[in-house]
Every structure is written in C-alpha cells, then in structure tokens.
Structure 1
Amino acid sequence: MKNRFPIFRIALLGAAAVSLTACEMRRDGASEDDPEPVATETPDGGEPTSAASPTPSESASPSASIFRDDLEEIDGLEVDTPTEPLALTIPFPDGADINARAERVLASVIRSDALEEDWPVILEGHTDSSGNDQANLRASRSRAEAVAAWLVERGVDDDRIQVIAFGEQNPAEPNALPDGSPNEPGRRANRRVELRIAPPVSTDEPRAERPNRSGN
C-alpha cells in the first residue's frame, strides 16, 4: 500500500498538468478577430444559437463629405454677380403727363441695380401716327423730357440722361386696322417712352441735344 500511494499521487499531478496545458493551448490559439461562439437560448425556448461577441457597430459620427470644409464656407460669402442692363416701357396713353401707372414703372427704375451703375440713361420718346410728323416729333420729345425731369427730381444726375425723339417712326402696335380704320388700343400702346440703362456702346457716341427744362 505504501508503494502504490506515491504512484497514484504522481498520476494525479500529471493529469492536472496535461489539463492546464490544454487550456493554455486553447487560449493561445484563439483569435481576437474570431472569438469562440457562445451558446445562447432564444427567448421563445427554441434551439440555442451560437452568439459571437458583438461586432463593433458603425460609428455614429457622420460619414466624411466629399466636399471640403473650406469650400463650403464660400456659401456664406457674398459673390459679386454682374448687374443686368434695364429696359422697360413707360406708358403715355394720353398726352405727356406721367400718370399713376407710369409712376409705378419709374419707381422700379429708382430701386433698380442698373441705376446704381454709372451707365447712361437713354429715354426714347414715341407717338402714334395721328398728326403730322413735326407735331409727333415734338410730342415724343415732350414725353421723354417729362421722364427725364422726374428722374432728376429724385436724384439722377442730369448728365447721365440722353433723350431721343422718334415721333411715329417705331410703332409697337399697328396704328390702323386692316380695313384702314384707327386701331385705338394700338395707338395708345404707341404713345410711350422706352427707357434703357446699359453700359455705353462707345465713348465717342454723340449725345442727343435737349432743350433746357427751365423753359429758357
């Protein structure tokens, strides 16, 4: 009995050493990227499933933008855009007086960006075909001069304004119907002033002469 006890003890020690060595080999051979699956029970009592350690979830931070931050800041800056020339029609259906409708059109001119530029203000006066040529020429000039005076009274430099009288030369609508009778709507449309504010075409272009508005 005394001879067998040391042998039995040695056998137990050997078995424990082998078991420890196997555990160490499992730990050393395990991959950090591929953990061992762990059996877990399903909530409804079904077959247990293997659950690996949780995979890292996608970052909550926003994905990288393809646009550079320094370029996006340009959106907050004021970008200079070229000013567009201005062209509009001021109606004079009766005579050379500026009526309420003409006032509204001219008010938009005062608020326009084109007027802020150092561009000439060209006023082209027109009439219908009733009356003789000289009378129509004078009437068209009177309308353009009335617009010029209105603008000067509101701060527009008189030297910027150029008046051109066309009389009945450039009708916007037919003055007569096909049967030769007067086209009254067309004649009212022809009594007008065309205003244009745009860069000068040539610095050598002569200015049209205008009579003194003071009446002298």
Structure 2
Amino acid sequence: MIAIKQRTGAAIAATCAALAACSPASERHGGNDDAVVNTRVVEPAAVETTAGAPTKSILRPEVVEPTPEPTPVQPIDRVIPMDGPVLGDAARQALDELMTNPLVQAGGALTLRGHSDTRGNDRSNLLASRKRAETVRDYLVSKGIAPDRLTVIALGETTPLVPNAQPDGSDDPEARKKNRRVEVHVALPAAPVPADDTAGGNVAAPAD
C-alpha cells in the first residue's frame, strides 16, 4: 500500500512540474514583465551625413565627365552678293557681320575673289569681276582693315556658283545674278586664336 502511494505522489509531482513549465513567463517570474526578453529585430536607421545627404558609396565613386576639348579654329569663307559694281544693302550687311568674326579681328589675311556671269566677252567679264573685288577691298579698308591683309583676284566667268543657263540652254537671269559675287576667304593668323573667343572685340578705327 505504501509503494502505491509513493508512485501516485511521484506522478502528481511530475504533472505539477509540467503545468508549471507551460504557465506564462510573467507568472513564473512573479508577474514582472521587465524580465521578458524582447527578441524583435530593429531595422537600423538610415545613415546621413552632416549636411543631411545620404552617404556615398566608396565602391562606386561619382563619375566625372571629361571636359570637352575646344573646337579648333578653322578658316572661314563668305559669299558677298554683288549684282553691280557697287555694294548693296545685303553686301554691306554681310561684310559688317564678317568683320565681327574673331578670326578677322585676330589679323588673318583676306583673299577677295571677284566673279561675273557669262554675259559679255571674257575680257569685260574679267574687268567686272576685278571691279567687284576692289569695291569690297575699299569697303573693308574704310572699316579699319589694313590694306596689306587684302589680296584681290579676278576670276571673271571661269568659276560660276551655279549654271548660268537653264537645262534647255535658255538664259537664266536669277542664276546669273548669283554668279555676280565676291568670295572672301579669311586665313588663320600667325598668332593662334582662342577657340572659345566668340564675342570678338572692336575693329581698329580707320586712319585719318
């Protein structure tokens, strides 16, 4: 009988121990919630620099774009329309704009090639083309371009800009008008011209 009671008591003790293990932690620790360990994962806050901007990665530094090289200065060519031996408004405007170019102001030599249409004989057309080129030369000199920078070449009717006649051989007055012109070529000066100098300065005043 005593052995049965001992076995029964042991079973009751084991049952009580199992029930105690399943009870809430607050009950096991006397109701103190502070003793419960918090296992929640806390996400770290974003790291910012003193200026408030996000930190930069040291593995991928910022890409710095290379500075583009300046465009090299090239000789320039202009066509000055000259229907007659005198300068019209369009010709004056074209020459005035040309003189503001940095290449002209830097001292580059100017070659003036006079042209004519095919009406008339070769000699008269040659003289007419020379007169056109000389008229342009005189205008540039009056605006302060040194005469020793200017070269006049008369080409007459030898190098038309467009055909002087229609495809059927008939006369084309508008085309002949385009061929009456002076072509101005500005060479590079001896001293280099800054590639980014696009504003230009003042042309020297003509001598008294």
- TM class by shorter-chain length? 0.5 to 0.7
Runs ≥4 residues deviating over 4 A:
none
**1:91 alignment partner AA:** P
Q: Which residue of 2 aligns with 1:121?
A: 110
Q: Which residue of 2 aligns with 1:107?
A: 96
Q: Which residue of 2 aligns with 1:66?
A: 62
Give the % identical residues.
Answer: 34
Q: Which residue of 1 aligns with 2:75?
A: 85
Distance 1:170 1:58 in 2: 74
Structure 1 length normalisation: TM-score? 0.60
Q: Which residue of 1 aligns with 2:158?
A: 169
CA-to-aligned-CA distance 1:21-79 (integer Å, 9 cap, x gap): xxxxx9xxxxxxxx953xxxxxxxxxxxx4x34513132425365246xx99x79xxx7
Residue 178 and residue 61 in structure 1: after superposition, are their counterparts in 2 closer, same or farther (change >3 A)? closer
CA RMSD of aligned residues (A): 2.7
Distance 2:108 2:115 in 1: 22
Aligned 8 A contact 2:118 2:157 in 1: yes
Q: Mind listing any 5+ residue stretches in structure 2 that lack a counterpart?
A: 1-28, 30-34, 190-208
Distance 2:165 2:42 in 1: 93
Q: Mind listing any 5+ residue stretches in structure 1 that lack a counterpart?
A: 1-18, 20-25, 27-34, 38-49, 201-216
For residue 180 of structure 1, the aligned residue among 158, 169, 172 is: 169
Distance 1:182 1:109 in 2: 33
Q: Which residue of 1 aligns with 2:15?
A: none
Aligned 8 A contact 2:109 2:188 in 1: yes
Aligned 8 A contact 1:121 1:195 in 2: yes
Residue 154 and residue 58 in structure 1: after superposition, are their counterparts in 2 closer, same or farther (change >3 A)? same
Bigger relative CO (Cα 8 Å, ≥ 6 apart): 2
Q: Which residue of 1 aligns with 2:12?
A: none
Distance 1:128 1:177 in 2: 14
Alignment: residue pair count: 148
Structure 2 length normalisation: TM-score? 0.62
Aligned 8 A contact 1:83 1:113 in 2: no
